[in-house]
Amino acid sequence: MADETTRGNGTGSDGAATGAGNDARAVSGGGYDPQGIEAKWQKRWAEARVFDVEVDSNKPKYYVLEMLPYPSGTMHMGHMRNYTIGDVVARVKKMRGFNVLHPMGWDAFGLPAENAAIKNNTHPRTWTNNNIAEFQKVMRRFGFSYDWRREISTCEPEYYRWNQWFFLRMLERGLAYRKKSRVNWCPKCATVLANEQVVNGFCWRHEDTAVESREIEQWFLKITDYAEQLLEDLKLLEGGWPERVITMQRNWIGKSQGAKVRFVVADFPGESIEVFTTRIDTIYGASAVILAGTHPLLGKLLAGSPVETAAREKLAALRQMSTKAEDVATAEKVGFFTGRYVTNPFNGAKIPVWVGNFVLMEYGTGAVMCVPAHDERDFEFATKYGLPKPIVVQPASSAEALTDENLAQAFTEYGVSANSGGYSGIATEVALDRMSAEAEARKFGKRETVYRLKDWGISRQRYWGTPIPVVYCEKDGVVAVPDDELPVLLPANPKLTGMGESPLAATPEFVNTKCPKCGGAARRETDTMDTFVDSSWYFYRYCDPHNSEAPYDSAKAAYWFPIDQYIGGITHAILHLLYSRFWCKAMRDIGLVKHSEPIERLFTQGMVQKGGVAMSKSRGNVVGALEMAEKYGADTGRLYTLFAAPPEKDLEWSEESIEGSWRFLNRVYRLVKRHSESLRAAKSGGIDAAAASPNEKALLRMAHQTLRRVSQDFDVRWHFNSAIALIMELSNEAQRMEPLEKTVRPEVRKEVLELMTLMLAPMTPHLAEELWEMLGHSEGLWTVRWPEFNKELAKDAEVEVVVQVNGRVRGKLTVAAGMGEAELLPLVMAESSVAHHVEGKRVVKKIVVQDKLVNLVVA
């Protein structure tokens, strides 16, 4: 699910990894050997079951999760960055004493598996499981702290039966329903796409394939029932979710408050056209009603119209026009008169009915009132076709009244109603409200809220997904499969063609069944579910992955939820995250959980790029994760992805740069190695600051200041890159102190090296364990808590004070920390570099910031 692993991006399975050669970095005698070290500690962790976790109400919990991957192709460093960020968070929280749930699983159903199976003449399950084995191998090689006992794979019946169970619960509640509907059809996928999967009129997987429109019986989930809640609860996510994700969801839900108004059609008794408007206050200015080209009433209106022939030709041409959003948005407005008229219910005016290419059938009612003077689109349309532009709103400031002569563009703001019968002269906001009331009172309209969000079509004409658990019976119609017959298993060996109907339809032993109600012959539903169903609730299953009685135990979910930190790509800002939020609310209403939002904090990490574009197999710019582990070791790979850029930014992969991370870990290893013999027996912890020599104090001060800032970078700021920079400085300093070793007691050196090791532990856990052992510890580092920095030791005895004259740095003074102004200023004035600039001038003002800076303003 992470964007680096985009679920079913439709790319082929060919395309070799490029980048590094696979020669491992040479290990000189006794040097840093990541291969040996990493294998050693992974084995110890597994033996000690370090990452196994259970509900424990005595400990604060922390649930950190990376979006589950779609197991396809090679795992590259883009994946690894995502998981490394999660792993650092998990390990830091564990060191902080939290009971950390950090699971991993596989988004295993989906189209690429089916396509690959067709291409390679194998079974989707085989292909998928091979990929899962490969992915797991790489993840284990990187030493991520997953509780592998909780691993899930969405293509297993133990998992997908609960998709079916949820579907039945939704069916019972009317949240799942079936309707014939015009759907988005991708000819290449040979299946239906959700609205969310259509990008600018093209398939989200096939950027070159225009989506077609077809009419099919489809299953839908009524996400629109939750539109208001999904919108409202975005407020709960503020602070925890990126602002732009919240904004994207808000726009996607697209709430508009307005009114629907019926315009009676002249000469057609009983027929009326309903329009939706957010500006009913402008209705006196309507000079036409405009329909979408696919409006259902259109056929009736055109039949026998005085301009029927011409209109039908124009309609055909209009329907031929591109429906691609990027074209549509910029396209010239086109339309034609139908030959029919309607009556404006407010003023009785008879206005023409037109058809316009800019009116969308999918939004509102598929018909709009055309108010040229107060809507930009209507203005453009009316100008082109010579429709009148009655002015019915005047700007509130009377300075520049609108007239027919000076109306150069639509005036779309609120103002004062004009030429609007009894409403003239009142503020449009007020008129809007009163006119809505009038429409309701006179029963030709009503206030209404319209959402852009549409119901979620989940039917897919594919094999590799969850079978929809219903049957069709001649006698009983649509019948739900009873719970005790779940799961409805996928047939083992379907005929996969990649075309047309679901392969399940061509599998008689699957299709033909008995009606659960009457026992008579019945046919199974042959469509499968959109795989976004799988990923809408998978993180609940991690709480209780082997439950065979329920999707999960509510008590366990109550302990672990909400997810404290979710990490993934911005790609899923709408689809996955919106569906997940919906699912949570539906589960709440079913009674499984009590919370309304599943994810407390969301982090969207940047992509790893090569050559300025995201790594992907189809582009052939992939840097294989396993190759990196073989060449430099997992720790170097982890460190580099953390160091090269802050986690939210895109990262350009550089083979030259990773060498720097490799060299650093080598230096650290050698540093500790040089001291390990002499420090093994030294006392650990409990340094007496008072007894420390100046050199010791300096070193300890730096170590504890580093600890203070690194702790902040981990906990608050998520600045892993600068945390690493700080640790590098500490290690450089420790190295520089080596010639003065005799002036630094072993326990002080040990303290410094131990702190450095502990700070590295979340990022380079294998090396850190090894160093910890080298420093004489027999207990694994995994048992150790994050150290607290020592305020006394971190305190500066002396500080460097910058001296400025007129804001320019002229000198620096080293003085005792905390020195007051009275004491400091004479020292400043005595400083020769300062005196030089002050000479012969008058000091107008003195600014003193304690322990930091003195600024003398002279004139």
Partner RNA sequence: GCGGGAGUGGCGGAAUUGGCAGACGCAGUAGCCUUAGGAGCUACCGGCCUCACGGCCUUGGGGGUUCGAGUCCCUUCUCCCGCACCA
Residues 216-275 that bind RNA (CB under 7 A): 243-244, 247-248, 251-252, 254, 256, 258
Cβ contacts of residue 324 below 8 Å, gap of 6+?
A: 200, 201, 202, 210
* The one segment of 124-132, 226-234, 657-665, 757-765 that binds RNA by CB under 7 A: 657-665
DSSP state of 20: S
Based on CB atoms, which residue is closest to RNA, 557 or 607? 607
Based on CB atoms, which residue is closest to RNA, 210 or 361? 361
- In the set 719, 745, 749, 766, which binds RNA (CB under 7 A)? 719
* The one segment of 110-118, 324-332, 413-421, 423-431 that binds RNA by CB under 7 A: 324-332
The CB-of-708 to RNA minimum distance in angstroms stands at 8
Beta-ladder partners of 355? 291, 336
Reading the block at residue 378, the tokens are: 């209507």
Q: Which is nearest to 87 in space by CA: 536, 560, 79?
A: 79
The secondary structure of 564-626 as a DSSP string is SEEEE-GGGTTHHHHHHHHHHHHHHHHTS-S-S-SBS-EEEPPPEEETTEE--GGGT--BBHH
Based on CB atoms, which residue is closest to RNA, 261 or 418? 261
Q: Is 276 in the site for RNA (CB under 7 A)?
A: yes
For residues 522 and 472, give the distance between their C-alpha atoms in angstroms, rounded to a whole number. 5
Q: Is 349 in the site for RNA (CB under 7 A)?
A: no
Q: Is 375 in the site for RNA (CB under 7 A)?
A: yes
Q: Is 452 in the site for RNA (CB under 7 A)?
A: yes
Binding mask 103-132 for RNA (x = CB under 7 A): ------------------------------
- In the set 405, 656, 688, 839, which binds RNA (CB under 7 A)? 656
The CB-of-573 to RNA minimum distance in angstroms stands at 7
Element (H, E) at 353: strand 350-356
Rounded to 10°, the helix 575-590/157-172 angle is 70
Coil, helix or strand for 811?
Answer: strand
The CB-of-853 to RNA minimum distance in angstroms stands at 5
- In the set 722, 787, 819, 825, which binds RNA (CB under 7 A)? 722
Q: Is 859 in the site for RNA (CB under 7 A)?
A: no
Based on CB atoms, which residue is closest to RNA, 31 or 97? 31
Based on CB atoms, which residue is closest to RNA, 15 or 254? 254
The CB-of-390 to RNA minimum distance in angstroms stands at 15
Based on CB atoms, which residue is closest to RNA, 89 or 367? 367
The CB-of-639 to RNA minimum distance in angstroms stands at 10
Q: Is 698 in the site for RNA (CB under 7 A)?
A: no
The CB-of-545 to RNA minimum distance in angstroms stands at 33
Based on CB atoms, which residue is closest to RNA, 106 or 276? 276
Element (H, E) at 82: helix 77-95
Q: Is 484 in the site for RNA (CB under 7 A)?
A: no
The secondary structure of 635-686 as a DSSP string is HHHHHHHHHSS-TTS-EE--HHHHHHHHHHHHHHHHHHHHHHHHHTTS--S-
Edge-to-edge strands, sheet with 191-193: 191-193, 176-186, 212-221, 456-457
Q: Which is nearest to 705 in space by CA: 727, 678, 679, 736?
A: 727
Q: Which of residues 376-395 bind RNA (CB under 7 A)?
A: 377
Q: Is 857 in the site for RNA (CB under 7 A)?
A: yes
The CB-of-346 to RNA minimum distance in angstroms stands at 15
Based on CB atoms, which residue is closest to RNA, 171 or 642? 642
Burial of 749 by CB count in 10 Å (0-12 exposed, 13-18 middle, 19+ buried)? Answer: buried
Site of tokens 């410094």: 752
- In the set 148, 165, 177, 363, which binds RNA (CB under 7 A)? 363
Q: With contact defined as beta carbons under 8 Å apart, do 273 and 338 qualify? A: no
Alpha helices in 514-574 (DSSP H): 538-541, 554-560
- In the set 347, 654, 684, 783, which binds RNA (CB under 7 A)? 654
* The one segment of 42-50, 69-77, 78-86, 330-338 that binds RNA by CB under 7 A: 330-338
Q: Is 320 in the site for RNA (CB under 7 A)?
A: no
Torsion of CA 313, 315, 318, 324, to 10 degrees: -140
Q: Is 578 in the site for RNA (CB under 7 A)?
A: no
Binding mask 533-572 for RNA (x = CB under 7 A): -------------------------------------x--
Coil, helix or strand for 332?
Answer: coil
- In the set 572, 709, 745, 750, which binds RNA (CB under 7 A)? 709
Q: Which is nearest to 780 in space by CA: 789, 769, 771?
A: 769
For residues 34 and 22, give the distance between their C-alpha atoms in angstroms, rounded to a whole number. 15
Amino acid at 313: E
Rg (CA), the chain: 34
- In the set 53, 117, 171, 644, which binds RNA (CB under 7 A)? 644
For residues 415 and 417, give the distance between their C-alpha atoms in angstroms, rounded to a whole number. 7
Based on CB atoms, which residue is closest to RNA, 841 or 852? 852
For residues 375 and 379, give the distance between their C-alpha atoms in angstroms, rounded to a whole number. 6
Based on CB atoms, which residue is closest to RNA, 26 or 408? 26
- In the set 664, 669, 786, 789, which binds RNA (CB under 7 A)? 664
Q: Which of residues 729-788 bind RNA (CB under 7 A)?
A: 729, 732, 735-736
Handedness of CA 152, 158, 164, 168 (dihedral sign): negative
The CB-of-743 to RNA minimum distance in angstroms stands at 18
The CB-of-45 to RNA minimum distance in angstroms stands at 28
- In the set 348, 591, 807, 840, which binds RNA (CB under 7 A)? 807
Number of residues counted as binding RNA (CB under 7 A): 93
Q: Is 855 in the site for RNA (CB under 7 A)?
A: yes
Reading the block at residue 445, the tokens are: 């309209």
DSSP state of 715: I
Q: Is 277 in the site for RNA (CB under 7 A)?
A: yes
The CB-of-788 to RNA minimum distance in angstroms stands at 17
Q: Is 838 in the site for RNA (CB under 7 A)?
A: no
The CB-of-423 to RNA minimum distance in angstroms stands at 17
Coil, helix or strand for 137?
Answer: helix
- In the set 118, 190, 210, 360, which binds RNA (CB under 7 A)? 360
Based on CB atoms, which residue is closest to RNA, 267 or 729? 729
Reading the block at residue 129, the tokens are: 């499981």
The secondary structure of 679-709 as a DSSP string is HTTS--S---GGG--HHHHHHHHHHHHHHHH
Strand 61-66 versus strand 565-568 pairing type = parallel
For residues 752 and 457, give the distance between their C-alpha atoms in angstroms, rounded to a whole number. 59
- In the set 172, 440, 800, 821, which binds RNA (CB under 7 A)? 800
The CB-of-31 to RNA minimum distance in angstroms stands at 8
Binding mask 20-59 for RNA (x = CB under 7 A): ---x-xx-x-------------------------------
Neighbours of 684 (CB within 10 A): 13
Query: How far does Cα 139 stand from its chain's mean position?
Result: 22
Q: Is 659 in the site for RNA (CB under 7 A)?
A: yes
Q: Which of residues 144-203 bind RNA (CB under 7 A)?
A: 199-200
Q: Is 368 in the site for RNA (CB under 7 A)?
A: yes
* The one segment of 46-54, 70-78, 641-649, 755-763 that binds RNA by CB under 7 A: 641-649
Torsion of CA 838, 839, 840, 845, to 10 degrees: 20
Q: Is 847 in the site for RNA (CB under 7 A)?
A: yes
Q: Is 797 in the site for RNA (CB under 7 A)?
A: no
